Amino acid sequence: MKKYSLYLVAILGSVLFLSGCGDQNGKASSNGALASNNAEKVYVAPGEHDEFYAFMSGGYSGNVAVYGLPSGRMFKEIPVFSQFPTNGYGYSEETKPMLETSFGFIPADDSHHPDISQTNGELDGRWLFINGNNTPRIARIDLKTFETAEIIEVPNSAGNHSSSYITENSEYVVAGTRFSVPIPQRDMPIKDYKGNFKGALSFISVEPETGSMDIKFQLIMPGFNYDLSHPGRGKSHGWFFFTTYNTEEANSLLEVNASQNDKDFIAAVNWKKIEEYVENGGGTMVPANYTHNVYSDETHSATSTMKKEVLTVDPTKVPGAIFFMPTPKSPHGVDVNPTGDYIVGNGKLSADLTVFSFDKMIAAIDGKKFDGEAYGLPILKFEDVLAGQVKSGGLGPLHTEFDGQGNAYTTFFISSEVVKWKVGTWEVIDRKPTFYSVGHCMIPGGNSRKPFGKYLVSMNKITKDRYLPTGPELEHSAQLYDISGDKMELIYDFPTHGEPHYAAAIPASILAPKSQKIYKLAENEHPFATKNVSDARIVHDGNEVHVYMAMIRSHFTPDNIEGIKVGDKVYFHITNHEQDFDVPHGFMMIGQKNSGLLIMPGQTKTSVWEPKQEGVWPFYCTDFCSALHQEMQGYVRVSPAKSNIDLSWSLGE
Amino acid sequence: MKIVIRSTVIFFSLLLMACGGKEEKKKEGFSVDREKTKTEKPAEAVAATSTVSPSERVYLENKGVGPIKSVTLSPDIDMALAKKGEETYSQMCMACHRIDKKFIGPAPTGVLKRRSPEWVMNMILNPEVMVKEDPLAKELMAEFNGAPMANQGLTEDQARSILEYFRTLE
């Protein structure tokens, strides 16, 4: 009996051992040396830096998370469209205006597609743009500070999905609507959608020096769903391409009703032509309500302005500017290769990839070879513009990126794989599984004329069985492939926060030297800044109390405050006097109903506290700053509403 | 039974103790009346030489560790420069240094009677390294409860102007 159980253990053990040896890279391998080689490729030793910054959208987190490649380490979460308790974004008085919209204060969104600014088609690392999908907005993040600098709302839009892609000199960032809606919005029967709903494609200009955004014009297109977009490159610079689905203009049970047509369209938009039309006085100014929110690094404050009108363009009024290319079948991603020669459209319900030739498209337009029209816009003949098809054998192709060496990489959602193929010959070179249900893939610079084709990251929707379980919800997984050789190699995967849709990455060597380390106290223009500790004071204004406070390792000035009364509204305006890198200080006050603050060196932030109870209440610093961090605290004495105790404050008395 | 009575008495006397005492004691501070243990030996007496606290000690030959190797002071104080220094001082240093009283850090008044100008500038410009490598700076940090001096990112010119301002503080 004893012998028998020993055998059993031995058999079980060897089975476990064997199954442990197979890797999930598609090939069973017990080659330890190879495995450790992969580990070395992603290992970034203590004190060493990653080669790339990857900015991944947070989806329903509304934010952007910054990861290092190849390590997969998350370095920062940048709050964009959502309140962020960590540092008080969207809670502090200075940042609340960033989340203002025509619908009021909106503290959440669904962020989808980040894109890095470019000059001459190459990443310049100045700004990162990202769309808010739900309440249509475009944000600009300053890559010196990794903070959101500006948010512009997009009127006449809904499901701001075909965004926020930029042209090759960052002339425009586009915001295309996924859902068509009545323009202007009005009360009407939903069943009357067809012919009455419209799709707005917004071209937002980017001021070359400051990055400041403004809606230059909105194209009011037929009521299809404009799903994704991509600017032309090189020879196709000046054009923008948008995929559509629901060209049926159905309004219910879209899974079935929006998949009736064998082909939908890629809309090719000659934006230079429309820009010219607008410059010459074309277009119609229409009433609209949308906010423009701008954050200033000088005042450390945001302002929100309501804009009242927007310039719309009827595309039929600009002949030769817009053409439809029939594309099978419910296309999702549209991507242009780095030379700008080819436009790849991926039909979600098609097994093959459709590649159009830009040259053929121009020739067909010049030859006026049209196959009909849709709402007055010419449709090109499929065969006339087709460059080739990639017969992949996969299912559910979504997105394509390029490595700069003539290869393309397409993700397949249904068959959970990345397929590598050759641009021009359309032959499949390699395919690798993903785990599981991959959405976008990303190659650093893959959206530009100069991709850095060393790594590919796939962003997967389903994570089960991949990591330790964390209850019913798992973080999504990103998978890192080494694409420097002929064959892709899956070398690492890591969890990502929120629902990352797309990412943009840039070599650290471009960004790191420009990284801002402190805000100069001398340049602090905040109206409530305390730049000099001798200016620390408290000002009573009705039942508003303004506390001008300074902080430095390891104390607040003042640290004892008396004369606050129940019912007062106390504004703590706190200035961090440090001028040293990486020494933020925190502030939390017992009973504070909004978030705490995290204040950067040289910065001023404001938090409101409304005392409801008499007593002596403490506040303290939340960010460990020195051996005496615990001692960085103070008290506020709160007296009855009618008491006659004078306001007073002190430090060290 | 006896036990019950005894425990009841103890219980109530505990209760009384708990309730006793006024809300606010007039006596300031507190003291602990605890018998000192005899087993631990008192710490070794500090070397007799350092009866003077580090902040009071005169140590003019020490130039400190940092970018400043030598400073030449003109016989007369450059009042314009000192004025600039005062402005910078009051913006960047006052959070921790009051002119003539010990605060978070030492008072600068009379500092040039105790420290070399190089040491002062190195302390301003290079505090992280000074508290690690300069023995006096190390002792000062201990005297001031381990509060590290913040590097305020001043330029050499700004530090020089503050030094000139310190010359006016006698």
* Order of all β-strands in the sheet with A648-650: A597-599, A585-589, A615-620, A633-639, A560-565, A648-650
Q: Residue B150: its chain A contacts at CB < 8 A?
A: 552-553, 577-580, 583
Mapping DSSP to helix (H, G, I), strand (E, B) and coil, where does residue A191 land? helix
pLDDT score for A652: 84
User: Are residues A593 and A450 part of one domain?
Assistant: no
Say if residue A508 is in the same domain as residue A536: no
Q: Which 3 state secondary structure label does DSSP give A92?
A: coil
Answer yes or no: is pLDDT of B20 > 70. Answer: no
B29 pLDDT band, cuts 50/70/90, is confident
Q: Tell me the chain B residues in contact with residue A534 when contact means C-beta distances shorter than 8 Å.
A: 90, 94
* Closest by Cβ to A579, choosing from B92, B94, B145: B92
Please check whether residue B67 touches A, CB under 8 A. Answer: no
Q: What percent of chain A has pLDDT over 70?
A: 94
Same domain, A609 and A465: no
Does B146 touch chain A if contact means CB atoms closer than 8 Å? yes
Q: First-to-last CA distance in chain B?
A: 80
Contacts of A549 in chain B (CB under 8 A): none
Instruction: Say yes or no: B152 contacts chain A, CB-CB below 8 A.
Output: yes
> How far is it, in rounded angstroms, from Cα A327 to Cα A352?
11
- Tell whether A334 is covered by a domain: yes
Kindly state whether residues A438 and A578 are assigned to the same domain: no
Q: Containing H/E element for B136? A: helix B135-143
To 10 degrees, what angle do helices B117-125 and B156-167 make?
130
Nearest chain A residue to B126 by CA distance is A580
Query: What pLDDT does residue A31 have?
Result: 47
Does the CB of A365 have a partner CB in chain B at under 8 Å? no
Candidate from B90, B147, B152 with C-beta closest to A532: B90
The tens digit of pLDDT for each residue in A272-304 reads: 999 999 999 999 999 999 999 999 999 999 999
Q: Are A84 and A63 in contact (CB under 8 A)?
A: yes
| Alpha carbon distance A545, A610 (integer Å) | 10
Asked if B103's CB is within 8 angstroms of A580's CB, the reply is: no
Q: Please tell me whether the interface predicted TM-score (ipTM) of this complex is above 0.95.
A: no
Asked if A478 has any chain B CB less than 8 Å from its own CB, the reply is no
Q: Same domain, yes or no, for A214 and A333?
A: yes
Residues A247, A283, single domain; the answer is yes
- Whether residue A558 is contained in a domain is answered as yes
- Note the pLDDT tens digit of each residue in A154-173: 999 999 999 999 999 999 99
Indicate whether A358 and A485 sit together in one domain: yes
Mean pLDDT (whole number) for A511-516: 97
Instruction: Flag whether residue A425 sits within 8 Å of chain B, measured between CB atoms.
Output: no
**Cβ–Cβ of B151/A531 closer than 8 Å?**
no
Q: Which of A10-24, A301-315, B37-51 has the lowest mean pLDDT?
A: A10-24
A579 in contact with chain B, both atoms CB, cutoff 8 A = yes
Q: Which residues of A touch B92 (CB under 8 A)?
A: 521, 577, 579
Q: What is the mean pLDDT of residues A538-550?
A: 95
Confidence band for A429, pLDDT divided at 50, 70 and 90 = very high
Last residue of a domain, which of A514, A540, A559?
A514
Answer yes or no: is pLDDT of A441 > 60.
yes
Query: Running DSSP on this structure, what letter comes out for residue A370?
Result: E
Domain boundary among A468, A497, A514: A514
Chain A touched by B99 (CB under 8 Å): no
CATH number at residue A282: 2.130.10.10
Question: What stretch of H or E contains A57?
Answer: strand A52-57
The residue segments making up the domain with residue A151 are 6-386+394-514
**Model confidence pLDDT, tens digit, residues B143-158:** 998 888 999 999 999 9
d(CA B115, CA B99): 16
Nearest chain B residue to A578, by CA? B152
Chain A residues inside the 8 Å CB shell of B153: 518, 579-580
DSSP assignment letter at A359: H
B49 confidence band (pLDDT: 50, 70, 90): low
Whether residue A507 sits in one domain with residue A528 = no
Mean per-residue pLDDT for A138-144?
98
Taking a C-beta distance cutoff of 8 angstroms, is the pair A393, A351 a contact?
yes
Rounded mean pLDDT of chain A? 93
Note whether B153 contacts A: Cβ–Cβ < 8 A: yes
| B6 has a pLDDT exceeding 70 | no
Name the band, by pLDDT with cuts 50, 70 and 90, for residue A341: very high
Same domain, A30 and A164: yes
Task: Let me know: does A98 contact A106? Beta carbons within 8 Å.
Answer: no
Overall number of domains in chain A: 2
Buried b (16+ CB within 10 A) or exposed e, A370-406: beeeeeebbbbeeebbbbbebebebebbbbbbbbbee
State both tokens at A342. 């080819």
Q: pLDDT band for B170, please (50, 70, 90 cuts).
A: confident
| Chain A positions in Cβ-Cβ contact with residue B90 (cut-off 8 Å) | 532-534
Q: Is A521 on the interface with B (CB under 8 A)?
A: yes
Nearest to A113 by CA among A159, A164, A171: A164
Burial class (CB in 10 A: 0-12, 13-18, 19+), A271: buried
Contact B147 A627 (CB under 8 A): yes
What is the model's pLDDT at position A339? 97
B122 three-state secondary structure: helix
Are both A633 and A535 inside the same structural domain? yes
A577 is a domain residue = yes
Cα–Cα distance measured from residue A114 to residue A117, given in angstroms and rounded to the nearest whole number: 10
DSSP reduced 3-state for B60: coil
Q: How many whole angstroms separate alpha carbon A384 and alpha carbon A382?
A: 5
- B95 CB near a chain A CB, below 8 Å? yes
Q: Does B90 touch chain A (CB under 8 A)?
A: yes
Does B94 contact A534 at a Cβ distance shorter than 8 Å? Answer: yes
pLDDT in tens, A584-610: 999 999 999 999 999 999 999 999 999
* Cross-chain residue pair B151–A627, CB shorter than 8 Å: no
Q: State the burial class of residue B6 (Cβ atoms within 10 Å of its Cβ: 0-12, 13-18, 19+).
A: exposed
Of A487, A514, A541, which marks where a domain is finished? A514
At residue A29, the pLDDT reads: 44
Any A CB within 8 A of B147 CB = yes
Question: Would you say residue A459 lies in a domain?
Answer: yes
Domain identity same for A87 and A108: yes
Confidence of residue A4 (pLDDT cuts 50, 70, 90): low
Among candidates B90, B148, B153 on the partner chain, residue whose Cβ is nearest the Cβ of A553: B148
- Give SS3 for A334: strand
CATH number at residue A534: 2.60.40.420
Whether residue A539 lies inside any domain: the answer is yes
Residue written as token pair 């297109």: A221
CA distance A533 to chain B (A): 6
- Chain A closest CA to B29's CA: distance in Å? 16
pLDDT tens by residue, A389-424: 999 878 899 999 999 999 999 999 999 999 999 999
- Of the candidates A123, A126, A127, A151, the residue with the CA atom closest to the CA atom of residue A141: A127
Nearest chain B Cα distance for residue A220, angstroms: 53
Cα-Cα end-to-end distance for chain A? 83
Residue A579 reports pLDDT greater than 50: yes
In a domain, A1, yes or no: no
Say whether residue A349 is in contact with chain B using an 8 A CB cutoff.
Answer: no
- Long-range residue pairs from B2-5, CB within 8 A, at least 24 positions apart, any chain: none
Round to whole Å and give the CA distance between A117 and A387: 29
Residue B28 has phi, psi (to 5 degrees) of -80, 145
Integer Cα distance of B52 and B44 in angstroms = 17
Q: Scan residues 29-48 of B and list those with Cβ closer than 8 Å to A.
A: none
One domain for residues A401 and A504: yes
CA distance B6 to chain A (A): 42
Q: Which residues from A are below 8 Å from B152, CB to CB?
A: 577-580
Among partner residues B146, B151, B154, which is closest to A628 by beta-carbon distance? Answer: B146
Residue A226 in any domain: the answer is: yes
Q: Does B24 touch chain A (CB under 8 A)?
A: no
Residue A12 lies in a domain: yes
Q: If you write DSSP's letter for every residue of A610-646 in order, what string do you get?
A: ---S-EEEEEE--S--STTGGG-EEEEEEE-TT--PP
Taking alpha carbons only, the member of A161, A397, A399, A382 closest to residue A266 is A382
Cβ-based contacts of A553 with chain B (< 8 Å):
147-148, 150
The confidence score (pLDDT) of residue A255 equals 83
